[in-house]
């Protein structure tokens, strides 16, 4: 893990906490699931480029899937 991976993991983890609390407040599973995914996935993805790609994709999912 390098510095960039750590920084982007922290950024996406912060957004994940926001998505999770938003989903829990409104009782919506999609933002809650994406929030958990955003908080957990940087631990398993070592490459910075893939962290960016997966993080942006997970952040975009609640805007397109509304359940």
**pTM of the predicted model as reported, rounded to 2 decimal places:** 0.90
Q: What does the pLDDT look like over 30-52, one tens digit per residue?
A: 999 999 999 999 999 989 999 99
CB atoms under 10 Å from CB of 1, counted, come to 12
Domain boundaries, the chain: 3-64
Q: Is the per-residue pLDDT at 2 higher than 90? A: no
If 0-12 CB within 10 Å is exposed, 13-18 middle and 19+ buried, where does residue 44 land?
exposed
């Amino acid at each position: 893990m390098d510095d960039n991976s750590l920084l982007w993991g922290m950024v996406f983890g912060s957004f994940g906490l926001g998505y999770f609390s938003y989903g829990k407040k409104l009782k919506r599973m999609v933002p809650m699931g994406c929030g958990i995914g955003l908080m957990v996935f940087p631990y398993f993805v070592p490459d910075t480029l893939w962290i960016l790609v997966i993080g942006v994709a997970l952040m975009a999912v609640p805007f397109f899937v509304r359940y």
